[in-house]
Amino acid sequence: MEIITVERRILEKNEDIAKENREILRGKNVRTLDLLSSPGSGKTAILEQTLDLLAGRIRMAVIEGDVQTDNDARRIAKHGVPVVQIITHGGCHLDARLVRSAMDSLALDDLDILFIENVGNLVCPAAFDLGEDEKVVILSVTEGDDKPLKYPLAFRAAKTCILNKTDLLPHVEFRSEVFRENVFRINPKATLFEMSAKTKEGFGAWTAWLSDTLLP
């Protein structure tokens, strides 16, 4: 029982800081998205394309969460936006306190959208509110059309879902229709985008959603 109590205390403390983060970010009129996925689903590649497509129109920054290495922050920095790397040294998810410390390094007054790339993990990050406006769950077609049912917490926590690597559909056994059914079974109100960060196919709908729906 003690363990459960402590876990609850960690989550409650996280909720408090997340609430403060949300107030700070909304006070500065910054929209914030928390990107969740397994390792290698293409979170960073999607961000790179998004940053390029919206450059000059929307002011963006990125908080990068990784277990180890600052490879992703270096990739993002090449696209000319502010980026803060959080290395968790084994930690399996970001939390609101870590995000707050990264927020403190960013000029929030100069931002429209803050992207938070969480640690590559489809399980733990789903349980932690960071103060974002919403979570976005990303799956690539190579991971299988059954994954919304197998990892329901992530697909329930995220209002928005991205299916990535659609360029590989001819080479894998992935039934897009079954995937969509599974997404909407877990989260009937989900917004679903299908795209390829490699070919840029499908990015029009996603960037239009960011610029027209997410932003006020």
Task: By CB under 8 A, name the binding residues for a copy of itself.
Answer: 2-3, 6, 10, 38-40, 66-69, 71, 90, 92, 119-124, 127, 139-140, 142-144, 146-147, 149-153, 165, 167-168, 171-173, 198
CB of 171 to a copy of itself, least distance (A): 5
Q: What's the farthest any 2 CA atoms get from each other in the chain? A: 53
Report the residue number, 114 or 139, with the smaller CB distance to a copy of itself: 139
Nearer to a copy of itself, 84 or 122 (CB): 122
Q: Where are any strands of DSSP class E within the chain? A: 31-36, 60-66, 83-87, 113-117, 134-140, 158-164, 191-194
The nearest distance, CB 80 to a copy of itself, in angstroms, is 22
The structure tokens listed for 10 are 């960690």
DSSP helix/strand/coil, 96: helix
> What are the Cα distances from residue 186, in Å, to 2, 10, 118?
32, 27, 21
User: Reduced to 3 DSSP states, what percent helix, strand and coil does the chain have, rounded to the nearest 5?
Assistant: 45, 20, 35
Nearer to a copy of itself, 40 or 204 (CB): 40
In the complex, what is the shortest distance from the CB of residue 164 to a copy of itself, in angstroms, rounded to a whole number? 10
Nearer CB in complex with a copy of itself: 24/149: 149
| Shortest distance (Å) from residue 78 CB to a copy of itself | 16
